[in-house]
Copies of this chain bind each other. A is one copy, B any other.
Amino acid sequence: MSDTPDSAVRTYTEQHRAAFLADLAEWLRIPSVSAQPEHDGDVRRSAEWLSGKLAETGFPVTEIWETPGAPAVFAEWPSQDPDAPVVLVYGHHDVQPAAREDGWSTDPFDPVIRDGRMYGRGAADDKGQVFFHTLGVRAHLAATGRTTPAVHLKLLVEGEEESGSPHFRALAEERAGRLAADVVIVSDTGMWDENTPTVCTGMRGLAECEIELSGPGQDIHSGSFGGAVPNPATELARMVAALHDTEGRVAVPGFYDGVAELTGTERALFAELPFDEETWLRTAASRATAGEAGYSTLERIWARPTAEVNGIGGGYQGAGSKTVIPSSAFVKLSFRLVAGQDPERIQEVVRSWAEDRIPAGIRHRITFSPATRPCLTPLDHPALQAVARAMGRAFGTKILFTREGGSGPAADLQDVLGAPVLFLGISVPSDGWHGPDEKVELDLLLKGVETTAHLWGELADALR
């Protein structure tokens, strides 16, 4: 659709920028924290708000889809062109927990604009990136003079992504007919950085578990009993310490079975990116790199599976000291998975690894959260090339390719719908997902609008 005048898209976007940002800020004010039951009502309110906004945008079909958990939003805008390809856009309207005392400079649920950025929980992950599709499709219509999009457009915006999407796969299976698409566009990722627009080609999968070890029936006196009974906190530390070998590899037997190793081309493409370790470390708020021997930092976060401690706790954690042997201790672990790894199999090998390590006198409980599959789109796929072209027109520069170290339910859509998954995200690493002072760069957000304004034509051409 090279007949879409890029300047018309830009002008339309600029004209509607203020109203678009005001609407996004309104949405960010709804604390749709899916992990905290006290926010259940807010998650529902967020779904209703979005559904209303999509209807206002022009989507002739908007629906709220119930799940056993939080509701999803579905919208559909058929193309007047009967053989237009069907595109399903995926995003989520729930957000991570956030509280002012976590280190936020301002109320996480009262967004503010400072220095060309909007700060607020969900600004980048993922409300901002869902929201650019609303103005995007309107700019697409305005610039092309169409009354319906060049593709048959569907949107599915779930409400439990930050809680591990426990009901997403079942929802996708149940609604597979309504969701059927030739291609899935996921807008829940990011680009390399502010100056290097990139398309993501895959995400890691995720398996999470909590392991609790119990020793004494209650906290007991470490003087009277210390040194003579197993201490569950010590035993837990030993288990965590055994999770990696000295080369930084995950030491769970069978963990690497089937892992898709990087090709020479993929390693070379990664190496084209302007990676600067110091900058990356600043983004990671870290002072050193670490990890699996034999791989670069980008390879480690994008193409290698990991095991990380997300939380650990047990015994006395208050001020000062308390001389107890804790009754129990727990660790929350997450395993990032890459193409070729099966989450169910990973759960099995982790469980048997852990169970082999329970000493006498210690009881254990291992709980797995629903897992997320990894996914990866081949570099030569025509739809992936169309995304790169649309982005190139918006940004006016060469588009490079990345992957995403995080995880999303995109792979479930790939499985259930049998469609390739493409990633279109404009967030940048400094956006601070899941942390305090999450923000989105307004200029990039608007480039997201422009990209989608171009994308529907590019995809219609590429897939026709």
Q: Using CB atoms and an 8 Å cutoff, list the residues of chain A in contact with chain B.
A: 35, 96-97, 103, 163-164, 204, 206, 208, 210, 215-231, 233-234, 236-244, 281, 284-292, 297, 300-301, 304-306, 308-327, 329-332, 334, 336, 359-363, 369, 404-407, 429, 433-436
B310 touches A321 (CB 8 A): yes
- The answer on a CB contact under 8 Å between A435 and B221 is yes
Bound: A405/B228 CA distance, A: 10
Residues of the B chain whose Cβ atoms lie less than 8 Å from the Cβ of A219: 434-435
Is B285 in contact with A216, judged by CB distance below 8 angstroms? Answer: yes
Kindly report which residue of chain B lies nearest to residue A97, judged by CB atoms. Answer: B322
CB within 8 Å for A308 and B226 given contacts A208-B321, A435-B219: yes
A221 touches B312 (CB 8 A): no
Is there contact, CB below 8 Å, between B405 and A226?
Answer: yes
Residue pair A234, B240 in contact (C-beta under 8 Å):
yes
Inter-subunit contact A287/B222 (CB<8 Å):
no
Q: Is the CB of B300 within 8 A of A309?
A: no
Question: Bound complex: CA of A240 vs CA of B213, how far in Å?
Answer: 16
Q: A220-B284, A221-B433 are in contact. Are A322 and B35 (CB under 8 A)?
A: yes
Residue on B nearest A125 in the bound complex, by CB = B221
**Do residues B313 and A317 form an inter-chain contact, with CB atoms below 8 A?**
yes
Is A434 a contact partner of B323 (Cβ separation < 8 A)?
Answer: yes
**With A241-B242, A289-B361 given, is the CB distance from A224 to B321 under 8 Å?**
no
Q: How far is the CB of A120 from chain B (nearest CB, A)?
A: 17
Residue in contact with A233 in the complex, picked from B163, B311, B323, B363, CB distance below 8 Å: B311
Whole-angstrom CA separation of A290 from B238 in the bound complex: 15
Chain B residue contacts of A308, Cβ below 8 A? 222, 226-227, 231, 234, 325
Contact call B321/A315, Cβ cutoff below 8 A: no
Q: Which residue of B lies closest to A303 (CB)?
A: B227
A288 to B306, CA, bound (A): 34
Closest CB of chain B to A252's CB: distance in Å?
14
Whether B306 and A315, one on each chain, are in contact in the complex, defined by CB atoms closer than 8 angstroms, is no
A331 to B236, CA, bound (A): 12
| Distance from A355 Cβ to chain B, minimum over Cβ atoms (Å) | 16
Tell whether A321 pairs with B210 under 8 Å between CB atoms, given A228-B291, A286-B216, A313-B313. yes
